[in-house]
Chain A
């Protein structure tokens, strides 16, 4: 029980801006509270649900967590490594995410036998397109989703993922091609503030 707490405390401390100066009146309490509340906002997503004869889309929700982002264009005053609370500029101007996505299918999987809950983890590269990425950026990546399939007994599947992001990288669309015959694709919004 002690180890996870220590780990979380370490991550929290690393994510706080370490340097400070006399003019810094940042309200860290408000910052982390409001940021944490924003992370609860889910991104709507649809999953393909099929068996040998039928195919349907199911509606669900997904949460976007980024435990680590490595920027390729951090300037000399900022760090390339960010944990959980990700400065959008360092992300959309060119970076790599290590992400985690808990997912919940609200309508369930009727044909495939997949479980409602799944959790994906993967990595993506983000590239700027317009306005140095602030107006439009895109991403390419891969992930593994842990989701039990009651019919086949499989525990999960690999996916290739692509995304396009607008409005400072806070809003986007993500598409995943899954290497799984029961749910070959999912398409979802990406909603994340910092």
Chain B
């Protein structure tokens, strides 16, 4: 009897160990919950306390992962705001958000690309709503299902995430800023099955235009041979914010749901944008090192030099066009004359 119990115990133990170690989501899930309870993210030192400046035409401050604070002249725009240390209630950021919300003096627009936890935090949106009730919240059609009401004005844009719909979706002008929903091939939803099985709508990229400045934000997307050429031919893009991860094979175009480093480089070519800031890495550990996508991007950019990844003509070497920022770092692209 004792022998039987011992044998059953050993079998259960082996199955448990194989499951925990062999199953990546289980292993990462257990590790993440432990970390989110007992650990803290790496601190960002020297955070910028005055991110909005009078003499700037275009600047971008990378808060971390996909959160970016843009200044286009007198307009302040926050993209995919996630400021919390623990994302989705269980996943601890590797590095804290590189900007304190209290240091944002004013805010005109908040853009959310889709409702996934790493792009849309209800806690952060509530804090933003308290501080900036007169801002406008822009979302893709379908994402409204994952949001409560706010004092902020919620504006929903029709998306066009296919060739049949022409890649360019609805445009709305808010306080002089033109925002257009553009192609992104990803998922809507927020809670697992709704994203991966039910295929609910609600993801987009954005084109933001104001006073002769055009910024492109890809959202989460995958590589498409045609879509970014169409967008690049229609808009003269000054700055493109393009996701580079997560990727296991970073020297590829990417998976069905995300761009990898090489894919991001190709999108940059096809958009014919003046500058690119890579996003969607650093804060979350998907595989091993959360910074691998940007290391590979840097390596690829050095290898290609002045030759383009797609064979298209590029106006300057990648080393000049691609600006890799640290969490909390701001780059000023254009000053007022």
Contacts and interface: CB of A to CB of B under 8 A. Distances in A.
B200 A26 contact: yes
A94 B149 CA distance: 11
A23 B201 contact: yes
Q: At the interface, is chain A mostly helix, strand, loop or mixed?
A: loop
Contacts, number: 96
Given A27-B197, A31-B198, A90-B148, A166 B89 contact: yes
B281 to A, nearest CB: 24
A23 B141 contact: yes
A32 to B, nearest CB: 9
Interface residues of B, number: 34
B201 A24 contact: yes
A25 interface: yes
Given A77-B144, A78-B145, A167-B89, A132 B193 contact: no
B150 interface: yes
A34 B197 contact: yes
Interface in B280-316: none
A168 B158 CA distance: 27
Interface in A149-194: 166-168, 170, 193-194
A168 to B, nearest CB: 6
Q: At the interface, is chain B mostly helix, strand, loop or mixed?
A: loop
A7 interface: no
B198 A75 contact: no
Interface string B194-207: 10011111000000
Given A27-B199, A77-B154, A132 B191 contact: no
B165 A78 contact: no
Interface of B: 84, 89-90, 121-123, 125-126, 141-142, 144-150, 154, 156, 158-162, 165, 190-191, 193-194, 197-201
Interface of A: 21-27, 30-31, 34, 71, 73-78, 87-90, 93-94, 130-135, 166-168, 170, 193-194
27 contacts: A23-B159, A23-B161, A23-B165, A24-B142, A24-B200, A24-B201, A26-B199, A26-B200, A30-B199, A34-B197, A71-B148, A76-B149, A77-B144, A77-B154, A77-B156, A78-B144, A87-B145, A89-B147, A94-B148, A130-B123, A132-B125, A132-B148, A133-B122, A167-B89, A193-B193, A194-B191, A194-B194
3 closest Cβ pairs, A-B complex: A73-B148, A77-B144, A131-B123
